[in-house]
Structure 1
């Protein structure tokens, strides 16, 4: 496919950097093997078998004897009972735990069902794997190209360090992601685009220029559309364009339709970029199918913000209306500006690109045992208190319900916070709103405004590994939210960890001479499985450790509808969490 002028865009298959190791852990099993069509299907089957990726019934659970859409497909099994067998195997997989169904059954499903993806490789499930590894190829985390040996880079191996253990791996994941994203070029061997842009350094330089020359609090969220449409590393001209646009229209009541028209003019190669003007009607009519309104003003803009936030170097200002430097990481910001501005127009080979991208920049590695500074703690406390003060109980109920039901939030700030850490943030807010006098210490990673980046890290160094600590008189309670709903994760991972966190909290308090005499935990999830009730009772009987499980909706309803002023009022075994008995 020939290169063409396109807006900057990012693949959305893997939005969350914490999911990247899930996929790489599967790819790692096949490192050193030549990627063939047969191996592609096997890898995709293993991803599905382990539930790293969960296709719908319409694709994986629906037999297709023949397909003549974007490509031609004929089912491997043409027998009369093939549809029944597909339905049976799919049901086994849906109801089973990750890895419980044989890979042969999943391969059977892939050979007798269709997904209508068609790009780069053969259509269907082959292309589905391409969509899952394409951005990882672009980042240099893996090298997966048909007919070539599968490679896993040093950055990817850093992501996998400690994977599948109770060790805190968040810093490894974020260090690896930042190291590769800092080098990311829009012009790379895996993307057909004529423009040459070092994306992250361009954004950082624009922010710096606007701050230093115009004292602006970063980049207004709508103006990201202009970055998406920009065609070079000329940050001065881009920053001046953004400033001139805002001088002309200011910030309030500027429609996305207007922003789209101006961004389209930047994409028109027949017009200069230093002219602040709308695109012609003829250009919009001709190119609107290629440069879609939703792409330039919503989808890609939102995805850019997510990708930038993943780095931990970008903060929100003005309730999410501006993106700015995270001043807690200014050394890393300056290092990227100084080191990754030069655009490498050509690489000797795809492998040379992989070697360049996949190396680790030690200056961008986060410390895994770093303790929050007083400034960082104050920022988190302020963000929690302000959100609690600015939103009523009905709003908090609605946001918890969105998480529990798996739907999308429209909140301008929360929609850029991934569900697991969003639940931690909202639980902190609920406790603070209900009990304003208690001390709430949230241990998630946050920017200099206290807005969360990622979930609390596990146990490491002097950190016990709790998600949220609540202190009241002689009580040290811990709050442990999880977005996971699987039986195995809740009972085999979360509950043993919570038990150990209580032991660790008590030991630390005693060793440090803290005044706390009572320790217990609240375990909060969108939907608790019944086995949690039995395990909680068992832990209490064996270890004398108190854990009180709550469904998230019930937790916020109870907080809103009952009058009390102590964290101890949550020490209740709800009816749905009473142990099973004969």
Structure 2
């Protein structure tokens, strides 16, 4: 029996490209090492030791002497104290900072606990978990992590981690550019038919999307593709973008944009029926739906996969959101890269099961797709307009809820915010809150954004004419640096965030002084999660006493409440109760 044609889908293990370097970096010391059982466990242990992936108590913290269901497992330690030792080591790891536990301690946990992953060709449990973590990175050509073969990191994979260090304080200013360049290089070449997938579809996915949007715009003047139409794209059987675009155009001309997901699903399902003798512009037959609706569930076709597709497209920085997040379109700021991908990567290549050739092809760097500081768009006016638009339409309740969701890494239901990565989403919302509080305040957000002003990612960092700050706010003679963070780590706040802010304030002072622009009063607002450690306030005081740089920590809830009362940016120049430094009591004078 011929294999069923499947809709395109993407692995959701690594939604955030900033996490990919963490995983690749773990492999550096294992490059050219044979991936046997022992090495697989050590690599997974190192991932967990560094807290790149954090399993739950029910998996990593629960001793399992025997398991014989999806696979067979027997714990390495059958002593009477094994369960207590697992409890102790899990609690120690849970309380520790990244990298504090030893590799041997985590290996012990993995050899005496299970996760119920079972992947073909891999031992069930933690080894199979390793496979799920790296398989999409295999597909993208960053690495080759295949059981019983030597571990390899490609040229493109090495570029991605070249600005990365396990010590966050040593991440290079151009780190985001390197990550985004490498991801775009990989996704531009990505084919659904590759050695790591079992699918009969031969599709160059990203070029298909770009070609379809371009054709609709050039032929019909359409503003991109309706997000619901992504269901048609993932079910399309080939690279024929003209037929796909004509299908989408005809469907929307006849049905408009208010049809239900159930209605669209039936048309998308017909595209998967290779036995259909009718035009693709019909609903799937009742017999096909009855046979396949459990295999290709409506939520998968209409929500889960399209949602992940948009996330992947946004990672490239070549796709914009329009119409309040209801349409995807070409980001015309990056038109040259779009044209290059269409010209160079629209033709499908046949690799069959040749892992080596696929790895070589995918891992090669195309410098035309690299982002650099010199060509970084300065679309400040568009970003300011978007911030002002959101400031006018957002309530304080909405902003507080979304900011709290962001730092807690809870999902957003907003059609735009849900596709903005959490760190830069908090920057965007913070800028909106400042503009809402002080409509006349000049708010310059330094994140990268599309041609609609919707954020993609962090700015590249300090450089000529830039202090490296997240947000610059200007009022009168004051230049205020605003630095939001989603991190909850006390040590990261104290050892990395505050010293970086100090440097940003010094850089802003130097730039303003050299340019003689009239700004001569500088301070910073550090915006973080509720429940800030008292150490943050104490470190801010030490920085002020030693350098004169003023940093004022604010918790999100307090910041939002206070923002509703301010009349000047100077009203944030306050030491809140939770940031007041502690002092030792002077007991000697009481004796």
The bucket for the TM-score relative to the shorter chain is over 0.9
2:449 match: 446
Kindly state the Cα deviation for residue 217 of structure 1 after the two structures are TM-superposed.
Answer: 0.4
Taking structure 1 as reference, are residues 345 and 549 closer, same or farther at Cα in structure 2, changes over 3 Å only?
A: same
Distance 1:3-1:458 versus aligned 2 partners, 3 A rule: farther
The reply on whether 1:186 has 2:186 as its aligned counterpart is no
CA contact (8 A) 2:270 2:280 kept: no
| 1:306-335 alpha-carbon deviations (Å, 9 max, x no partner) | 000000000011011100000100000000
Q: Which residue matches 2:373?
A: 368
SS of match in other structure, 2:27: helix
Q: Could you tell me which residue of structure 1 aligns to residue 25 of structure 2?
A: 25
Q: 1:36 to 1:518 in 2, by over 3 A?
A: same
Partner in structure 2 of residue 567 of structure 1? 569
Q: Is contact 2:203-2:239 (8 Å) kept? A: yes
Do residues 480 (structure 1) and 486 (structure 2) align? no
How many residues are matched?
577
Q: Which has the higher mean CA deviation after the structures are superposed, 401-410 or 165-174?
A: 401-410
Per the alignment, residue 395 of structure 1 pairs with: 398
Q: Does 1:37 align with 2:37?
A: yes
Q: For residues 135 and 2 of structure 1, do their structure 2 counterparts lie closer, same or farther at Cα, with a shift above 3 Å needed?
A: farther
Instruction: Specify the SS of the correspondent of 1:58.
Output: coil
Query: How does the TM-score come out when normalised to structure 2?
Result: 0.95
Q: Secondary structure at the match of 2:373?
A: coil
1:411 aligns with 414
1:520 counterpart = 2:523? yes
Residue 558 of structure 2 corresponds to which residue in structure 1?
554
Contact conserved, 2:407 with 2:422, CA < 8 A, in 1? no
**In structure 2, how many angstroms separate the alpha carbons of the residues matched to 1:3 and 1:489?**
50
Preserved CA contact (<8 Å) 2:5 2:200: yes
Unaligned runs of 5+ in 1: none
1:30-86 Cα distance to aligned partner (Å, 9 max, x none): 111111111010000000000111111111111112222311212111122211111
Partner of 1:385 in structure 2? 388
1:131 alignment counterpart: 132
Contact 1:172/1:368 (<8 A) preserved? no
Structure 2 residue 74 is the aligned partner of structure 1 residue 74: yes
Counterparts of 2:128 and 2:472, CA distance in 1: 45
Q: Quick check: 1:422 aligned with 2:425?
A: yes
- Going from structure 1 to structure 2, the CA distance change for 1:579 and 1:226 (only over 3 Å counts) comes to same
What displacement does 1:244 show?
Answer: 1.3
State the shift of 1:143 in Å.
Answer: 0.7
Contact 1:400 1:552 in 2 (8 A): yes
The one-character-per-residue Cα deviations of 1:263-303 (angstroms, maximum 9, x if unpaired) are: 11111111258431111222112112211111101111100
Retained in 2: the 8 A contact 1:207–1:324? yes
Mapped partners of 1:356, 1:6: distance in 2: 24
1:465 equivalent in alignment to 2:465: no
Q: How does 1:83-94 map to 2 (within 5 A)?
A: 83-94=83-94
> Partner of 2:208 in structure 1?
202
Instruction: Find 2:243's aligned residue among 217, 237, 241.
Output: 237
Per-residue deviation at 1:247? 1.3
Q: Which residue of 2 aligns with 1:353?
A: 358
Deviations 1:160-180, CA, capped at 9 Å, x for gaps: 122122422111111111011
For the aligned residue pairs, the C-alpha RMSD in angstroms reads 1.5
How big is the shift at 1:370?
A: 3.8
| Local SS of the residue matching 2:508 | helix
In 2, distance between residues paired with 1:267 and 1:220?
20
d(CA) in 2 for partners of 1:370 and 1:275? 43
Mapping 1:159-308, distance limit 5 Å: 159-164=160-165, 165-168=170-173, 169-252=175-258, 254-271=259-276, 274-308=279-313
Structure 2 CA distance for aligned equivalents of residues 212 and 55 of structure 1: 49
- Please say if residues 475 and 517 of structure 1, whose CA atoms lie closer than 8 Å, have aligned partners that are also in contact: yes
Deviation readout 1:411-455 (Å, 9 max, x if unpaired): 111011111110000000000000110110000010000000012
SS at the partner of 1:59? coil
For residue 553 of structure 2, give the secondary structure of its aligned residue in structure 1.
strand
Q: CA deviation at 1:241?
A: 0.9
